[in-house]
Chains A and B, each alone.
Chain A
């Protein structure tokens, strides 16, 4: 049974959600260059929860009565970087699924990518843009890193606006090594320091994949006309929604995202627009495949 987005709204444990999402996908989404256990033996390492059982050295276990994992000589030089936009606008809720926000959805998407990278033996790191700061988790391999990243994602709360260009540039010092950069956000602000950063990364020949999250209500332009609205990131200006302003809203929104798509095409940057009410498994598959094609 494919996992629906309602599961994200009801589950607080990221690990549980990604296990369900990835179980529905099977293997071979992403053509990793690494096989988990290398051919050339390097060292033994203590077993940690999440390690594959087939990498446990059973003979050594029989001798030492403890689990050890054979570490192979790593020759991977690809790192996966997960960039999460956690500004206040990411708190936008789905108006049809109770308790589901863009932030929760983006968190699950990035956690799934992290889990896939961990299974394939790639190094992965995390950058969370929130409250005018960029929180940086350095890239590493292994199940412990996965737990670290998941904990970091779970602790993330949407707040404030994007960090400035200089802050973001300082956080992206990893751009020296070739890497895969997965960016999840709502891209309501474009151009922005974040858009500049990912365009620059793309020009430096990194494999950048952007996921633009929207809600069903935004696409259909249907909001409760009884309420007054305010932008969570901009001042105290109050807006109203009604039948008379619906067309203008749709026009403005389409013009904005047409510009986003145009900029991405110009820079050969694969962008997937997805609604958070869609099944996360399918969206993940489309996101990663689109990137492969591009």
Chain B
């Protein structure tokens, strides 16, 4: 869509015409015997001269820069490269990459990143994706030949931090250590930045500064938001300024099955699903593939150039008027 702005390039003709016409209107010389000349308008179109060539160049550059900025110009400057999904062994990457440029991806979605940045690669560049890249919903099409050399990363036992404020902490501790739970739960003495769940099982209201993504409330009277809750199964929930609040009539403090189901619900409802690992494969280059969205690689430079050119143009115009 942005590349449609290149069609605005004919605008550059305007300053060229303006400067030429100004030249024509001012250049006359007195001629005493002009009365013998037939009354004919001077042919102004023949002379292609411009006044103030510096200002003309500045104005043309200004317009061209503006159009390039709007069209989000991207210059292909990357050659052969290895795209490395985070969390991969450095020695393994060095062995696979060889002399090729190494690019560290921000997350597992290598296909999306490549789609956005594909215009930065030279046409003959070959690309290799290493690591636990996420599988896209449909088979991607790229202009470059891309090899996916993926491997599923071994599942690392993730852990979630929990803070418990309760008159019966032992019962809650048992709930989090229920056998067969998908993750490991760490119970913090004090809630910190990592805390993802606060269990508030006290009748009084919590202190004002305490916040967490999810609260399990033992006594609903402590939270006025829970006066009119929504219901999902056995769970009643409401949103507050502190975070999402869950409450149940009977917390499964002694029921192992119930505890496992509760923890699974927490995992399912609060966290997005983890993508599958894409299968290793070679994707041939497809010249007809649509270019990805703009990457804005030159946007900053173009903006600075635009500002500088604008200032210069104003200064020169001002000097000329005086």
Contacts and interface: CB of A to CB of B under 8 A. Distances in A.
Interface string A102-127: 10000000000000000000000000
Q: How large is the interface on B (under 10, 10 to 19, 20 to 34, 35 or more residues)?
A: 10 to 19
Interface string B311-322: 000000000000
Interface string B5-29: 0000000000000000000100111
Nearest to A240: B42
Nearest to A229: B31
Nearest to A90: B32
A218 B27 contact: no
A227 B29 contact: yes
B29 A245 contact: no
Interface in A213-269: 218, 223-224, 226-234, 237-242, 245, 248-249, 252-253, 256
A7 interface: no
B41 interface: yes
Interface in A72-122: 88-92, 102
A95 to B, nearest CB: 10
A140 interface: no
A228 B32 CA distance: 13
A232 B32 contact: yes
Given A228-B28, A229-B28, A238-B28, A188 B33 contact: yes
B34 A239 contact: yes
Contacts of A252: 35-38
Given A188-B35, A231-B35, A234-B35, A239 B40 contact: yes
B36 A253 contact: yes
Contacts of A241: 31, 37
Interface of B: 24, 27-43, 47
B42 A238 contact: yes
A238 to B, nearest CB: 6
B29 A239 contact: no
Of B24, B27, B37, chain A has the most CB atoms within 10 Å of the CB of B37
A277 interface: no
A207 interface: no
B20 to A, nearest CB: 14
Contacts of B36: 249, 252-253, 256
B40 A240 contact: yes
A239 B32 contact: no
Contacts of A232: 30-32
24 contacts: A90-B32, A91-B30, A91-B32, A92-B33, A186-B32, A223-B31, A227-B28, A229-B34, A230-B31, A232-B31, A232-B32, A234-B34, A239-B37, A239-B42, A240-B40, A240-B41, A240-B43, A241-B31, A242-B43, A245-B37, A252-B37, A252-B38, A253-B33, A256-B36
Contacts of A249: 33, 36-38
Contacts of A237: 39
Contacts of B34: 229-231, 234, 239
Contact of B41 (A224, A230, A238, A248): A238
A209 B98 CA distance: 103
A232 B34 CA distance: 9
A101 B39 CA distance: 25
Contact of A228 (B29, B35, B38, B39): B29
The residue in B27, B30, B31 that gathers the most chain A C-beta atoms within 10 A of its C-beta is B31
A210 B37 CA distance: 25
Given A92-B33, A249-B36, A249-B37, 4 more contacts: A231-B30, A240-B43, A249-B38, A253-B36
A239 B39 contact: yes
A27 B96 CA distance: 111
Contacts of B38: 245, 248-249, 252
Contacts of A229: 28-31, 34, 37
Contacts of A245: 37-38, 40
Nearest to B42: A240
A206 to B, nearest CB: 28
Contacts of B41: 238, 240
A223 B36 CA distance: 13
Contacts of B47: 226
B2 to A, nearest CB: 45
Nearest to B35: A231
A87 to B, nearest CB: 9
Contacts of B32: 89-92, 102, 186, 188, 218, 231-233
Nearest to B33: A218
Contacts of A227: 27-29
Contacts of A238: 28, 41-42
A229 B35 CA distance: 10
A81 to B, nearest CB: 25
